[in-house]
Amino acid sequence: MLLDIVVDGDLDNNKTLREVKCVNQIFPDLKHLTYNIRKKLNAKKWEHYSRYEDVILQYYKKSSNNEDLPPTTELVKHLQIHGLTKHLCDDYSECWPEVCWMTQNPELVLPEPNLLNCTPEEQEKFSAMLGEIFQLNIGQSLYNR
Ligand SMILES: [Zn+2]
């Protein structure tokens, strides 16, 4: 018997489960992870980014929840941090068509909020912020392939 298990993102649970022989795959509970990201985004530290909350969560959910995508941790991480930052700068070269609605609709104008009027330094900071809010979640994703 093999089990596919959905976890809420608790690291100790994940570690224990991985050592159980009948556990086939461990899936992160996306709802819980999304809640964590929202919570982090609303922390005082990132207050000035709160207007990006919807676009970040939308991008995150699409890239984490698509069964056709090759869900290796590194690829997803790259997409969610660098892909999303570039996306908000009107550069869709790193976006996956499954995740991004812009790649197939070049006539669309990038909606606000975006990073178009930001300096490279501000874009860099945005990227660093994404790295930080996704960090915990990525470590807990445990894509088992
Ligand atoms: Zn995009």
* Positive or negative torsion for Cα 111, 112, 117, 118: negative
pLDDT in tens, the chain (145 residues): 777 766 655 556 666 766 777 766 666 677 888 888 899 888 999 989 999 999 999 998 888 776 665 567 788 888 999 999 999 999 999 998 888 988 888 899 999 999 999 999 999 999 999 998 887 554 454 444 3
Residue 109 lies in a domain: yes
Q: Can you read off the two tokens belonging to residue 3?
A: 């089990």
Q: How far apart are CA 78 and CA 2, in angstroms?
A: 31
CA–centroid distance, residue 111 to ligand 1 (Å): 11
Residue 145 lies in a domain: no
- The pLDDT score that the predictor gives to residue 12 is 60
- The pLDDT score that the predictor gives to residue 103 is 82
CA–centroid distance, residue 96 to ligand 1 (Å): 7
Q: How far apart are CA 34 and CA 123, in angstroms?
A: 23
Domain count, the chain: 1
Amino acid at 99: V
Residue 80 lies in a domain: yes
Beta-carbon neighbours within 5 Å of ion ligand 1: 87, 92, 95, 100, 102
Residue 38 lies in a domain: yes
- The pLDDT score that the predictor gives to residue 136 is 54
CA–centroid distance, residue 113 to ligand 1 (Å): 14
pTM for the model: 0.74
Q: Which domain holds residue 11?
A: 3-139
Q: How far apart are CA 69 and CA 96, in angstroms?
A: 9
Residue 124 lies in a domain: yes
- The pLDDT score that the predictor gives to residue 15 is 65
Residue 126 lies in a domain: yes
CA–centroid distance, residue 61 to ligand 1 (Å): 13
Q: How far apart are CA 90 and CA 12, in angstroms?
A: 40
Residue 144 lies in a domain: no
CA–centroid distance, residue 60 to ligand 1 (Å): 12
